[in-house]
Amino acid sequence: MDILDKQHHSFLTVSILQTIFIDYGYEVKDVLFRASFDVDIDDTGKTLNKKIREDQIAHYNFILVVGTQEQEARSVNIRTRDNKVTGTKTLEEAIAMFKNLEATRAADE
C-alpha cells in the first residue's frame, strides 16, 4: 500500500468517538486543513468500529480517532487503513509525521 495514496478525495478522516467530542473533532479538522491536508470528518452516530470499517473501505490513508483522552491532551489516535495503530500523537506531532511522509514520497518519485 502506498501510505499516501491520494486516489480518495481526502487522505485523512477524523472519527469522533462520541457526539460530545464533535467540537474537538472539527477543531482537529481545521488545524489539519490549515496545515494543507485534505480532511473529512465522520460525526455520525455509528459505532467506532463501524466508522473505522467504512473509512477503510473508502480507502482513507489515515483514520484519526478523537475522544476524551485525545481532547484533554490535544492529540489524535492514528491508525492506517490497514488497521495498523500508530498510536496517540499531539496535533503538532501528527502534522510533522504527515509532512515527513509527503516529503519522503515526493523524494521517491
What CATH number has the domain bearing residue 48?
3.40.50.800
**pTM, full prediction:** 0.83
pLDDT attached to residue 106: 67
Q: What is the pLDDT of residues 16-30, one digit of tens each?
A: 888 889 999 999 999
Task: Look at residues 62, 50, 54, 65 and name the one whose alpha carbon lies nearest to residue 15.
Answer: 65
- Residue 35: Cβ-neighbour burial (10 angstroms; 0-12, 13-18, 19+): middle
Per-residue confidence (pLDDT) for residue 6, from 0 to 100: 46
Closest to 79 measured CA to CA, from 68, 67, 94: 94
CA distance 34 to 88: 20
Residue 7: inside a domain: no
pLDDT for 109: 65
Question: Does 5 fall in a domain?
Answer: no
4 vs 87, which has greater pLDDT? Answer: 87
Instruction: Kindly state whether residue 78 falls inside one of the protein's structural domains.
Output: yes
**Strand residue runs (E) in the chain:** 12-16, 39-42, 62-66, 75-80, 85-90
User: What average pLDDT does the segment 25-49 reach?
Assistant: 92
In this structure, is residue 6 part of a structural domain? no
16 lies in some domain: yes
Tell me how many domains the chain contains.
1
Structural domain harbouring 71: 12-108
Q: What is the pLDDT of residues 80-93, one digit of tens each?
A: 988 899 999 999 99
- The answer to whether position 1 is within a domain reads no
